[in-house]
Structure formats: structure tokens, C-alpha cells
Amino acid sequence: MIPESLVAALVCGATAAAGGVQVPRLVSRLPEPTPTDTGKTPYAELAERPRLGWACAIIAGGLAAAMGASRGLSADLPVWVFLAVLGVTLGFVDWRTQLLPARLVAPAYVVVGGLLSAASAITWSDGGREALIRAGISWGVVFGVYFVLWFVHPRGLGYGDVRLSGVLGMALGWLGSEAVVVGTYAAFLLGAVLGGLLALARVVDRKGYPFGPFMLVGAFFGVLHAGGDLVFWR
């Protein structure tokens, strides 16, 4: 009999890979910020990078497969497939432009909230109600923490990071408080250590580098931790 973790990994990986192929088309349709920043590479130009779709498909598929294997055949699998594709898109855009487009992040609240609500309805008598409440609380708490950090030191975080934090907090909150703590802590740890090393290597600017990719990778670790795959974090 095929293990359910393998089935979940294959389904999630294939679905996310199919979504990843569409990333160039999605990026090309993003509206340019107003006022236009002349130092920013246009989204349409970013979308024309060679083999971008295939690269995004491989990365999104791999991330979704790992999260699917961690979660098994659970009702929340669509959330992680969506976040894998969204995360690859946002990570690429933020790394190249230091922007997290509201056109992508804002609708994610509706999508993630809707998918979690559906998962809650399916598992209502088996902890779904409590998980949905916890997701809502985590949304507010994580968003609040990032908002305070941005308000106190706006040069350290962009408001796009604050906006994204609520989506990630909501999703991780569904999994439990430990996932929220691990995902959030990992983001800042990776941002400080890897960001510092990249700055020393002059890969990124010391005065400011995109934090969104580190938030997304941190959230990925939070999901794996909730599935028990990161036992060394316990």
C-alpha cells in the first residue's frame, strides 16, 4: 500500500509545479508601482528571464511536496500548495525589486482564509474549529509584531513585509503555536545570519536587503516542524 505521505507529496508537488510554470505570466501582469521608480527593473522584463517558469515549477513543486509529505492527506493541503506557488512568486519578485506587491499579497488573505475555513468545516469535530480560531489569533499577533517593528524602525522592514506577515501567521497558526514561533524565529534568524553573510559577500546591499524570502523560508520550516520533520528544533 502506498503511504499517504507519499501520495500527498506527489499530489502537492505536481499541483504546485503546474502553478509554478505560470509565474512568469503572473509577474508580467503586475502593475508598476506609482510613482514609478526608475531604478527598478520592470515586471514585464523580469518575467522574460530565461527558464523562469521551469525554475519556479521545480522550486514550488519541491517545497509543496515536502510540506505535503509532512502533513499527509490532511484537509489543509490546498493551503500549502497555494503558499508554495505564492511564495516562489513573491520571493523572486522581492529578491529582484525589494517589493512585495499588494496585488499578490492582499488577495492571499482571502484565499488562505477561505481554504482554512473549508478545512475547518471538514474537520470541525476533530479540532477544525479550534485550529481556525487559532489561525485568526495568530494572524493578529504576528501582524502586530511586524507592524510594531516596522513602526519603530521602518528602515529595517518594509510595509510589504508587514502585510505578508499576516498571511503567514494565519497559515502557521492553523498548525499550532509552535509552528508560529518556529516560523517567525527562523525568518529573523535566517535574515540576520544569511543576510549578513550575503551583505559581506556583496551579494546584497548592506543598507537594506529583501526580507520577504527569509520570511517565506522561515514559514516553510514552521510547517515542517509542525509535521514533526524538524525534530532537532524541539
Chain segment 119-162, per-residue pLDDT in tens: 999 999 899 999 999 999 999 999 999 999 999 988 888 999 99
pLDDT of residue 207: 66
Closest CA to 180 of 115, 109, 131: 131
Q: What's the rounded mean pLDDT across residues 41-64? A: 95
d(CA 95, CA 140): 26
Could you identify the residue written with the cell 512585495? 100
pLDDT of residue 215: 97
Sign of the CA dihedral running 37, 217, 160, 185:
negative
pLDDT of residue 37: 57
d(CA 194, CA 71): 28
Q: Which residue type sits at 38?
A: T
pLDDT tier at 48, thresholds 50, 70, 90: very high
Query: Could you tell me the pTM of the whole model?
Result: 0.92
d(CA 107, CA 113): 10
pLDDT of residue 38: 56
Q: What's the rounded mean pLDDT across residues 207-224? A: 91
Whether the pLDDT of residue 21 is over 50: the answer is yes
Q: What are the domain boundaries of the chain?
A: 4-233
Q: What's the rounded mean pLDDT across residues 210-230? A: 87
